[in-house]
Structure 1
């Protein structure tokens, strides 16, 4: 990683903190994720990363995104379809599990790890994509934020896999030690509260309530330290057991979710924690705050599905002129709309928003109220909207009056929020955001998910507080089963009048305003320059005693205090002046530029009651100079504009609701994902606002009503630029999410501030990409006619939004989320996918685009792509003697001709056309009869083709040789100009059993046996390069005891037994810096038996094998590893990753005996490592030769048929006959008459009579073995 997290909180707010934020009584705690910050494993992850794409390709897939911590896929496109269909009786779960098993090798998953995954949700709305989501459990506790999503078509063909599973998620056989939950849940909660609020109360500070929804619930203990500190829990804190994934292991932990704040305030903070259950350390922390039919008087369409209008103003989407002219729409009256609900539940009926007889805005989906009084949540003094007549909420909102001017005014805002949030619930319910998907409802009616969590829609939040939060909104998105909370605030508008007049001289100065203190005032008085007696900047030329950050030491009572900007919060200056009796405060800027706006801040528990205005630095300098000349007076006046209630701005409400949708359907904890959430939220609002007949080339904005105080909101809303497909109006592209990128030379608003990476600024670009794609869907044509009506495209886009979110990997990058959305579209229609993909490409997120690293905070590293291209890869198979073979032994020998196949995969949205493969080899013994250049057939999007070519071995090869082939595919127009793969094989050999005392591991008929329950998963014969092999025992990610056992070894009488071998190993140990340290969790030993395996002894009883330490030396759980307590090979060998040679001289202890030797690996129940690689095992002192051996081929092919002369020799042109010539040997017997496929074969060194006598049988073999496949170099199948 380039950099780790900065002080990041997941603020899902409508605007950035440049405006006055809601109070944060806990302070802003930085986001933290121990997994993302862990050092990358040097062995296991690096090894996996080197092979994962190859393994995926072998199974028929292309990996396009990787989890950098573990080197496993986070997004994989399937390019080969498995024959599974609903018609065959396969369920979506069955198809998903089959697909995961197919790619298990690429993900490094054992059968036990796959079996630990359970289905938590199946998204299937009867059309389009089917998404099966699986999560893992270990001993009943779920893995935190670890899940895999399998995307299928309606036919159940695999399209893609997103996310991944953890190989350590396997059942444990013991309950202590590394997997123990040593801390109690109350202790974990106390640790989280202490971190958040700084109050060390311990577990006695909380008391347990009744559990619910799989969580243990806790309240504050009455009279405890937490309650005494005025801490308040808005609802019970929720705690449950989880396993927190680290790159190499799982940590037992508790997930803690709490909403807390000062009992004297309506503000609160919501955080999720994961606390390690062994020692209480923090593993994860993030803020959860983002920012019968009834009649409702609301701004909504009175027809069709009652879609909300943009707000209390006429339709301004798109903008009528398309230029930033400062205009805003006229106000319009709200109609009376009748609505019962409009979703379609599983029974085909509607779920009513309110029950018959309801009298207030408290329904199954939403509880809407004005949250005016502390603490946070519905409490005494707060009010819901009530009916004005039977089944009627007819409250009229007067936009010319203050939002708090009357109770009907307040209830009108509450009614509007109730309506819009219910409408969004129903609209997205029909796209798959239902109970099982985790939507918010009091009663889930037995349809899955957790109930008891209706959305709390809080209007005018904190509006009666002395310093009420303004100019913002936020969404608290708790996990399913706890109510999400939407807080909508009042927003300031431009002042009706604001003046500052200085006497003598009558100068009128421009001013900036404060987000605290009175909003309207008029006063005059003498101006005095502060002297606080403390030079806060002693090394600076400026006078640091003039900043007012300390109590004034001069007489300021009854006067207007002039202070300099800097060194403390604006509010602190005002508090100090107020305490000293000042009438008001003027702040002079300390940098060039206009008078600054002054946000609120510390101290949060002190209200300011005196006015404060700011002036520019040069005006401040002139004012200070005038004070040196004599008395100066100032007259300050401010008449605030009528505040606007964001709760009646329907696009602002839709934005916040979009956060809830996103965070219920994804696992999102990084700044990059938070930026996407802002973009999703904006797009949810845009999607609701765009109507049939709108000019799609125009400019669109959200939050037009509420954000008037930010400037030209009619044109750009609260963002820097309007949403538009016209680059003359908005030229932002993918690169503009990165800090340091210069913005387009266009009129820009302030948006989220100066940093491109600020989540609202970066989120604009994600929303812009979605907007481009949606416009493409709306405009998509076939045969000159629109494919979809407006309403059809609108519903389709909603379906894809829900499916794309459900498919997203944990903490998705921009391009991973893009691929999830495109894959969802591809499962339904390739043409729809292309339309969306084109939208992404227009804004720089085309096929070849690269996201910033997952944990980046500045988003530097973005690579743009403005085209749709193929994304290619190649997988090369093994050579086979399948065209012309003399002995059908599987090896290519002298004079034989074989076939090599390779697959070209395309994970791009467009076909790969015109690709050409070139085959090369450094071997001088081979030629390519049909040429070394091979045309590759067109590879369809997200598909693969298989291509074959022939290779011929020179007749003159007399000894064994190695063949290494490289297939390089030129891919014009693809993301990479070429891709390559290698393969290899032994040439001109026979595999002779029982021929050697050296096990080279090259025989295709190994005589070693694998023993132990997981032996097949642990031990395998693997390639170490293109040709050679070794035994590999992986460090298994679950508890295992497996052995690789030799055949019987007969030691000569009086002969010493000496065993030598090469090996390298890397077994799991506690990573540096973790606790407990220096524990060798896994390891290997060597054992010997002289009674045919009835009993075994450690080889160390006879010779020092060079063991490195004790295996499984966890003092708290010594039995976690089957080999616990034994000395063995642990950690990594000294030369790692290079192998080392070991010699074991056993002397004559086994002289005259028959022995077996075994290599034994013991692993615990958690993630392993590379394991143990063993090669070239030699046993000296034997009287037999137990191992197979590759020897030079004993037979020799005769003349090849006419025309089989080769062309395209190996590298350097060596070894091949001229094109069109004969490659038959010049000596040897004449070939038999066997037609065009004839073959004459001769056993070297055999008597002539034997060769002749074998002719009939050899001809019979030839009839089977000589399979001539002409045109092999041009074959291709899809």
Structure 2
């Protein structure tokens, strides 16, 4: 083989402080340490993802035809359908029939099959997934539950091979109570056994006795974190390896708690998997939890994810609002004023929700801060073990412990533990009401037979000794305890304890919610996804603690209590720990989607910004601000519509349901769409416009797009609020052609669809004189009525001069007045100088596997796509191995060379051709295009340096080669390919319709001598080109003095020899006389050709 051949998530409220290297005392990590970044070797160039077969692209096109508003997003590594959804409706109708599932397919599954809708969808769209429902037979159900309030049935299957799970190999479907398929997400490997055999030869032996032992895997994982650990220091705490996964646990002095180890399959791409040890451990020195995948054969660390992102009745004396100095909303302008202290309240309760906590928060007979939902305690020595004893009630089950905030928090640690215990239980019960139940993966020891896996109550560490000025939450898989760690904040004097800031605790607990729900609970590790996680947590902490009567337009700081005097900040009740306060007022909170993109982020000059916070666009808490303020806008819209109680509850419910619908490691747009889907499921889309208005306000409107969640570069904002009039495709029109009037494409078909429930009238129009619309008005019936409009270039376009033209076509819903538009762009190029449609072999020089003829449509079996079955036009192409893939043995470069071409009288030369190329990337394979003006010295104008190329259709290529070709008498172009050891086999080059465009210089030839008295001289004038034109040319002629010389007004030429002429100048008597009446005479002859003026002076 060539290039070899989620569990936990910890999220911090204030990990942004780690970035301030000038103030290391405020970092979550010790001063001497730097943050260890996540990595995934599969995303690096040495382990390139393999592409899906062409039939998947065809299946996507067919799917879009059946459901134009569908959104199909493929996994970045596996190219599996990571998420299939629609914000306009469901994927099927009731009973699983209609839209994208035919009744005939549904009829093949028993009505008693609880998963028949999902199975029918997989069967009907086998080419899209590259498998059918049979894959579910070999998988295990990881999660299966119905959300009580809306009846949504969620099922998550985990892919197995030989009893060993595939890492992140989940397939999740969501079906309504009416058996409508809402969405589906898959990271299943189509041929899992074959992929394992390719990536791990002799896999049965490797599984039985992995070359790397579990202790060695722990040691290598720990060393990957920069630590040192010897095998003699490890103690195996397992009775014996458990199951096919060989799950084991180890302890060691440098570790905090147990290191858990098990076997998993790691897909390197769609066709290859490696057997790995999944190691989950926490370093005592770093105080962070990591998930590391160690190759079970080579011992290489292939993936690392940091799982720590840095922030009967009983009575509890606690702060029941934001903090000891509650003040929400905050100040209207930056202010150093500090709110007054309030007193704690003695709350008497067994639980806020006895359905959520049947045994209460503390089991009967117990008298300490430990129960079924949470174990709260001090952990000042940072060993992840309780500092005993825990606080005890005195009298029995009365936790009324003294607190003096004028002292250092160390003096009142037990009071802080009680506050931490109270709010963790409060969050457990509150989120249970929104659907975060046992079956959904919540945190409990005893799940009372309601589904899910127990033994995972939250371990809440107060005054954690790992550092200062932070808080975090670790979210392992269901069945392993979550861990909340809250630190002391040492900015003010005396210090403040994060255990008393309710927003901090709610923020952190929400990380547990999102970590368990998003993507079926695989964890949140990608860059954008982590930013979303911070935004969800900020939002829940603000919305859950909000009060009726709070202004919708005010400023809301996050974590204001603990941020006092951090970095000298005194305006903490305006900014909190974020760059801006949260506000619906964009003059206070100005951020939009583009502010996560380093190339687009705005400085928002003039808007007050927190001087203590860094301004990096890709810092996850900064990204979280943008997501949170967007949700804050949506909340305001819903409260205006329904009032505080109903509106605030509704947005929290929608977000909880949306987390469940969101695919693994989502980007911002996927998170947006999940909320719209949740509203469809819960309310039939009743809040469509309120939600879209909020998204559009922050640049996440209908046409917005975001790159894969692993990056933030490539954001496209949109401020469009979608209408019931759906215009598809959403893309603009880009056409091109030359001055002869041949354009490609020459038209664009748009489909208008009424997605609403009422009859609709529409109109379309443009101010562009060079396009025609097939229709400009019409009506559409409700619930899917549609019509097509053909927009085509007309004769005016054929007479446009060389240049670029643009305009807009507008589509209007006359019922609502809402208008949306598509841009039209037209480029007029110079005329053709040479054209090779390859109807016949032009005889160009070729080497290696270059060939001329008809491609066979073969190749691309394992990598890339197959060859075409014909040329872009006609039958023939130039291609590399027309019968399949190129040879992978090292060799080349092999060239197809065309030329020489004579451009001695030409300027503005352009090379254009049609390309169908599939190639591996450097250093394994090279594909490039080079040019030369002497046949010896070559310059590259195209190469595949940026990665593999996998064309599945003909694509137009255009290169301005004027710098190299203009006025050159001998010009060459060549297409190259070259392979090196380890190259994958791809189908290679195919080219067709090669043409050179340019402005050819006209020359005028007149007789050298004309005598008076010669009379009429017929056919005496010539207009010459350096070579025959590739297409028809019309030349306009004029004479400055028709009494002396006459010319035809226009002369038409349809091709000819290298020098062609128009013998149409007629010289009258004395027209070129030398000595007429003793005076020399001269005349000027103008010859006009599109944007050219040629002048000839005759004497």
Q: How would you bin the TM-score normalised by the shorter chain?
A: 0.5 to 0.7
Q: CA deviation at 1:142?
A: 2.0
Is the CA contact 2:96–2:180 (under 8 Å) kept in the aligned structure 1? Answer: no
In 2, Cα distance between the equivalents of 1:12 and 1:662? 13
Q: Partner of 2:319 in structure 1?
A: 299
Shift of 1:174: 7.7
Q: How far does the alpha carbon of each residue in 1:528-564 deviate from its partner, in whole angstroms, 9 at most, with x for none?
A: xxxxxxxxxxxxxxxxxxxxxxxxxxxxxxxxxxxxx
Q: Confirm or deny that 1:376 pairs with 2:384.
A: yes
Tell me what 2:550 maps to. Answer: 694
Q: Distance in 1 between matches of 2:350 and 2:192?
A: 46
**Alignment equivalent of 1:359, drawn from 331, 349, 367:** 367
Matched residue, 2:304: 285
Distance, in Å, in 2 between the alignment partners of 1:974 and 1:148 is 36
Structure 2 residue corresponding to 1:841, chosen from 685, 688, 696? 696
TM-score normalised according to structure 2 size: 0.62
CA contact (8 A) 2:73 2:84 kept: yes
**Partner Cα separation in structure 2 for residue 753 and residue 800 of structure 1:** 32
1:477 offset after TM fit, Å? 2.2
Give the distance between the partners of 1:341 and 1:172, measured in 2 at CA.
Answer: 51
Q: Distance in 1 between matches of 2:64 and 2:824?
A: 16
Secondary structure of the equivalent of 2:284? Answer: strand
8 Å CA contact 1:10–1:671 kept in 2: the answer is no
- Cα distance in 1 for partners of 2:886, 2:417 equals 61
Distance 1:1171 1:392, change over 3 A: farther
Residue 186 (str. 1) matches residue 205 (str. 2):
no
Distance across 2 between alignment mates of 1:831 and 1:479: 35
More moved, 83-92 vs 424-433: 83-92
User: Could you say which residue in structure 2 is the equivalent of 1:177?
Assistant: 201
Residues 107-133 of structure 1 deviation map (CA, whole Å, 9 limit, x = unaligned): 333554455454432453233344333
Determine the structure 2 residue equivalent to 1:448: 451
Distance 1:217 1:136, change over 3 A: closer
- Within the candidate set 257, 268, 288, 1:234 is matched to 257
Match of 1:770 in 2: 631
User: Could you tell me how far apart the structure 1 residues matched to 2:883 and 2:427 are?
Assistant: 59
1:202, distance to aligned residue in structure 2 (A): 5.3
CA contact (8 A) 1:96 1:132 kept: no
How far off its partner does 1:349 sit? 7.6
In structure 2, the residue matched to 1:798 is 652
Which is bigger in relative contact order (C-alpha 8 A, separation at least 6)?
1
* Shift in CA distance, 390/212, structure 1 to aligned 2, threshold 3 Å: farther
3-state DSSP class of the match of 2:274? strand
The alignment's C-alpha RMSD in Å is 4.5
**2-structure distance, mates of 1:1070, 1:974:** 53
Matches within 5 A, 1:754-1153: 754-780=615-641, 786=642, 789-829=643-683, 830-856=685-711, 859-869=712-722, 872-873=727-728, 914=762, 933=775, 938=780, 944-945=784-785, 973-974=819-820, 1035=861, 1064-1066=883-885
Deviation at 1:832, TM superposition (A): 2.3
C-alpha separation in 2, matches of 1:938 and 1:385: 69
Cα distance 1:657–1:390, how it changes in 2: closer, same or farther (>3 A)?
same
Judged with a 3 Å threshold, the aligned counterparts in structure 2 of structure 1 residues 797 and 1071 are, in CA distance, closer, same or farther, namely farther
Equivalent of 2:425 in 419, 422, 426 = 422
Verify the 8 A CA contact 1:64 1:75 in the aligned structure 2: yes
Which residue pairs with 1:342 in the alignment? Answer: 352
Deviation at 1:772, TM superposition (A): 1.0
Structure 1 residues 314-325: aligned runs within 5 Å: 314=326, 316-319=327-330, 321-325=331-335
Counterpart of 1:404 (choices 403, 410, 422) is 410
In the TM superposition, residue 698 of structure 1 has moved relative to its aligned partner by 1.0
Between the aligned partners of 1:42 and 1:705, the Cα distance in structure 2 is 47
Task: Kindly indicate whether residue 291 of structure 2 is the aligned counterpart of residue 272 of structure 1.
Answer: yes
Equivalent pair of 1:705/1:713 in contact (CA under 8 Å):
yes
How big is the shift at 1:335? 1.0
Distance 2:858 2:810 in 1: 34
* Cα gap change, 1:80 to 1:672, in 2 (>3 Å): closer
Q: Distance in 2 between matches of 1:151 and 1:969?
A: 38
Counterpart in the other structure of 2:582: 723
Change (3 A) 1:841 1:903: closer
Matched with 1:1019 is none
Residue aligning to 2:1057: none
- Does 1:55 pair with 2:62? yes
Return the match for 1:34 from 41, 47, 70: 41
Q: Distance in 2 between matches of 1:366 and 1:133?
A: 27
Q: Distance in 2 between matches of 1:26 and 1:217?
A: 31
Contact map agreement 1:340 1:353 (CA 8 A) in 2: yes
The Cα of 1:728 is off from its aligned counterpart by 2.4
CA distance in 1, matches of 2:696, 2:887: 43
> What is the CA-CA distance between 1:868 and the residue it aligns to?
1.4
Tell me if the contact between 1:219 and 1:233 (Cα under 8 Å) persists in the aligned partners. Answer: no
What whole-Å deviation, never above 9, does each CA across 1:403-433 have from its counterpart, x for those lacking one? 112xxx2111000000101111111122222
- C-alpha contact 1:396 1:412 (8 A) present in aligned 2: yes
Tell whether 2:538 aligns with 1:682: yes
Question: Is 1:85 paired with 2:95?
Answer: yes
Q: Is the 8 A contact 1:178 1:251 kept in 2?
A: no
Q: Alignment partner of 2:12: what SS?
A: coil
- Conserved 8 A contact 1:1064-1:1138: no
In 2, distance between residues paired with 1:1135 and 1:815? 26
Matched, 1:313 2:325: yes
Q: Which residue of 2 aligns with 1:105?
A: 127
Asked if the contact 1:26–1:269 (Cα under 8 Å) also holds between the matched residues in 2, the reply is no
Distance change (3 Å), C-alpha of 1:65 and 1:1138 = closer
Structure 2: how far apart are the matches of 1:170 and 1:915? 55
Q: Tell me how far 1:89 sits from its aligned partner.
A: 4.7
Can you give the 5+ residue segments of structure 1 that lack an aligned partner in the other structure? 1-8, 222-226, 301-308, 463-467, 495-640, 781-785, 876-900, 919-930, 951-967, 980-1027, 1038-1061, 1073-1133, 1140-1167, 1174-1278
SS at match of 1:56: helix
> What is the CA deviation profile of residues 279-303 of structure 1, one whole-angstrom value per residue up to 9, with x for unaligned ones?
2222210111122121111112xxx
Is 1:44 the counterpart of 2:86? The answer is no
Tell me by how many angstroms 1:937 deviates: 5.8
1:411 is paired with a residue of what secondary structure?
Answer: helix
Note the C-alpha offset of 1:312: 1.5
2:119 partner SS: helix
Query: Residue 760 and residue 80 in structure 1: after superposition, are their counterparts in 2 closer, same or farther (change >3 A)?
Result: closer
What residue is the counterpart of 2:230 in the other structure? 201
Conservation of the 8 A alpha-carbon contact between 1:844 and 1:865: yes
Give the CA deviation at 1:792: 3.2
Q: CA deviation at 1:825?
A: 1.6
**1:150 is the counterpart of 2:2:** no
The alignment covers a number of residue pairs equal to 767
Query: What aligned pairs does 1:709-720 form with structure 2 within 5 A after superposition?
Result: 709-710=565-566, 711-720=570-579
Alpha carbons of structure 1 residues 152 and 233: separation in structure 2 relative to 1, 3 Å = same
Superposed CA offset, 1:1129-1168 (max 9, x none): xxxxx999899xxxxxxxxxxxxxxxxxxxxxxxxxxxx9
Q: Kindly state the Cα deviation for residue 456 of structure 1 after the two structures are TM-superposed.
A: 1.0
Normalised by the size of structure 1, how large is the TM-score?
A: 0.54
What is residue 75 of structure 1 aligned with on the other side?
83
SS in 1 for 2:563: helix
Partner deviation per Cα, 1:478-499 (whole Å, 9 max, x = no partner): 22222221111111244xxxxx
How far apart are 1:853 and its partner, in Å? 4.0
Task: Point out where structure 2 has 5 or more consecutive residues left out of the alignment.
Answer: 1-8, 98-109, 731-748, 767-772, 791-807, 813-818, 826-853, 864-880, 892-948, 955-983, 990-1099
Q: Post-superposition shift, 1:337?
A: 0.7
Distance across 1 between alignment mates of 2:433 and 2:301 = 39
The superposition leaves residues 589-628 of structure 1 with CA deviations (integer Å, 9 ceiling, x where unpaired) of: xxxxxxxxxxxxxxxxxxxxxxxxxxxxxxxxxxxxxxxx
Q: Would the alpha carbon gap of residues 949 and 1034 (structure 1) be closer, same or farther in structure 2, given more than 3 Å must change?
A: same
Aligned twin of 1:435: 438
Contact 2:857 2:884 in 1 (8 A): no
